[in-house]
């Protein structure tokens, strides 16, 4: 009976923590997100999915996010949970803008003419 209770308790603990583990596995550090976005913009320019104007605008927004991150880090030495969430949301929006600009076929349409 004790084994059954211990097994049930262990299984409950494992399954109860799995959503938390899944969430933490999906989170990407600010530095990794910055590097990933920078690579996506560079790749988009090289393969013609982004015009230079689009890339310039996206890089400007990227630099604003980098400045905001630096400001957050200067204020307390590290990012608070609120600051991290704010940066994550802003990176999500910028990532979406990169995706939308790459998918608009603006440069490809121009080349067909």
Total domains present in the chain? 1
| Residue 3 CB coordination number (10 Å) | 7
Among residues 13, 17, 101, the alpha carbon closest in space to that of 56 is found at 101
Q: What is the pLDDT of residue 2?
A: 58
Q: What is the pLDDT of residue 21?
A: 44
The domain of 90 spans: 29-112
Model pTM score: 0.65
Token digits of residue 52: 């230079």
Torsion over CA: 70, 75, 80, 85 (sign)? negative
The conformation of residue 104, written as its DSSP 8-state character, comes to T
- Give tens-digit pLDDT for 37-48: 999 999 999 999
Is 62 strand, coil or helix?
helix
In a domain, 78, yes or no: yes
In a domain, 17, yes or no: no
Report the percent of the chain where pLDDT is more than 70.
68
In a domain, 9, yes or no: no
């Amino acid at each position: 009976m004790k084994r059954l209770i211990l097994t049930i308790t262990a299984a409950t603990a494992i399954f109860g923590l799995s959503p938390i583990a899944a969430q933490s596995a999906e989170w990407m550090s600010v530095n990794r997100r910055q590097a990933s976005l920078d690579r996506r913009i560079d790749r988009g320019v090289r393969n013609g999915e982004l015009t230079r104007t689009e890339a310039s605008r996206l890089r400007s927004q990227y630099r604003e996010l980098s400045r905001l991150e630096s400001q957050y880090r200067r204020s307390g030495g590290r990012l608070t949970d609120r600051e991290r969430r704010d940066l994550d949301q802003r990176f999500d929006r910028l990532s979406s803008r990169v995706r939308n600009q790459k998918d608009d076929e603006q440069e490809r349409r121009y080349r067909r003419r």
